[in-house]
Amino acid sequence: MKRGKISSLKGELHIPGDKSISHRSVMFGAIAEGKTVIKNFLPGADCLSTIACFRKMGVEIEQNGSDVTVLGKGLDQLAEPAELLDVGNSGTTIRLMLGILAGRPFHSTVAGDESIAKRPMKRVTEPLRKMGAKIDGRAGGEYTPLSVRGGHLTAIDFQSPVASAQIKSAVLLAGLQAEGTTTVTEPHKSRDHTERMLSMFGVSLQEDETSVSIEGGQQLKAAEVFVPGDISSAAFFLAAASLVPDSEVVLRNVGLNPTRTGIIDVLKEMGADLEIEEKDAGNAEPYGDLRIKTSSLKAVEISGDLIPRLIDEIPIIALLATQAEGTTVIKDAAELKVKETNRIDTVASELKKIGANIEPTEDGMKIHGRTPLTGGAKVSSHGDHRIGMMLGIAACISEQPIDILQSEAVSVSYPSFFEHIEKLAAKA
């Protein structure tokens, strides 16, 4: 797909539903008792994979665009799947579902696409095995395909070596089915959508700053879920409006969970012109409207406990940093190497092709600004949705058009991404 420079962006967008929350709403609805109604569900490829997997376990799920109804009959009624559970490109689907499967007294096989086949699974299969699940897979359970025979779990006290909501959630979902109280402790707090949504479904949890405990044997009760817009998707338009001259954009109903708002802190520190109007603090997940205008940016340093609060935004932050005064340093972010692609490598290699001055490091990168982007090259998403979207925004500010290969990867989390750019450009 060839994309070129845009003179200005104006107007407003309703950002599609949050991917993390959409996955959880289907999974928790599937194991709850009763009818769960979900509004503003994200009909992106990843969340559709979650729906397909739970249908294969006998759960009735109706999906009509962003309206979803899940007819849950409780954990005990999940059926042994007759086919492979295919998670597509979705790390959240496979890791959280493994936590559920670990406690089910049946056999299942899970696998996904080429990218999933390279992503580490021992971080989840090891604690689940410790709890009593029988899991096997390539390289001793590190890589897909994985086969699971679950049931008879015992609670554990698990110290996770990384701050990861996928690991934390998998162990908590197994803990829900285990005898005793399971505790997960992380080095830094990761996103807490699982904890918030389990509470909505009537489960009680004990939380402090970096640990969560859950008692086994609790039953989930169906709930009504409103999924706010995905701040990780909004981030691309926050960046676009900051960088494209003479822009002013309003993003409606964006999720503002504090475990996800690192991008807002960083934009403010960089000098972005950003206003936030919180809407309904009463919702299980806070959300609001964001108004952003073009501004002159300066470099920042990003590390430590800020990293899990913006891990998915690092590709777009790298693009912002190419246009900020000074050198931006990102460290403590080695997790980037095990995302949909090695995002330290893909961000650096693709942005360099269009003129950026970036040095990849062991646990992050250094970006030297301001460096005008020349464009005029072929780049690729490498099948990674967030790399595809970052390059889509890079094209808006590049001197010459760029050719983005595998741009269709954006449909994993934001199928209308390129249409939304057109919509804002047309209003300008």
Annotated binding-site residues for phosphoenolpyruvate read 19, 91, 119, 166, 343, 386
Written as six digits, the tokens of 309 are 């609060």
* Beta strand segments in 209-341, E: 211-215, 224-226, 248-255, 273-278, 287-293, 297-298, 301-302, 324-330
User: What is the residue type of 117?
Assistant: A
Question: Smallest distance from the beta carbon of 197 to ligand S3P, in angstroms?
Answer: 11
Residues that bind ligand S3P (CB under 6 A): 20, 92, 164-166, 169, 190-191, 311-312, 335
Q: For residue 101, give the nearest of 199, 202, 173 by alpha carbon.
A: 173
Specify the residue, 164 or 177, whose C-beta has the smaller distance to ligand S3P.
164
Catalytic residue among 312, 363, 384, 403: 312
d(CA 333, CA 340): 15
Question: Smallest distance from the beta carbon of 425 to ligand S3P, in angstroms?
Answer: 28
Specify the residue, 165 or 292, whose C-beta has the smaller distance to ligand S3P.
165
* Beta strand segments in 115-243, E: 134-137, 143-149, 153-154, 157-159, 178-179, 181-185, 205-207, 211-215, 224-226
Question: Smallest distance from the beta carbon of 192 to ligand S3P, in angstroms?
Answer: 10
Question: Smallest distance from the beta carbon of 21 to ligand S3P, in angstroms?
Answer: 8
Burial (CB count within 10 angstroms: exposed 0-12, middle 13-18, buried 19+), residue 293: middle
Binding residue positions for 3-phosphoshikimate: 19-20, 24, 164, 166, 312, 339
**For ligand S3P, which residue has the nearest CB?**
20
Question: How many other C-beta atoms can be found within 10 angstroms of the C-beta atom of residue 83?
Answer: 10
Structural element, H or E, at residue 193: helix 193-200
Structural element, H or E, at residue 235: helix 231-243
Specify the residue, 225 or 402, whose C-beta has the smaller distance to ligand S3P.
225
| Annotated catalytic residue 312 | yes
Specify the residue, 169 or 261, whose C-beta has the smaller distance to ligand S3P.
169
Question: Smallest distance from the beta carbon of 79 to ligand S3P, in angstroms?
Answer: 25
Specify the residue, 9 or 170, whose C-beta has the smaller distance to ligand S3P.
170
Q: Measure the N-to-C terminal CA separation of the chain; round to a whole number of Å.
A: 22
Binding residue positions: 19-20, 24, 91, 119, 164, 166, 312, 339, 343, 386
Residues annotated as part of the active site: 312
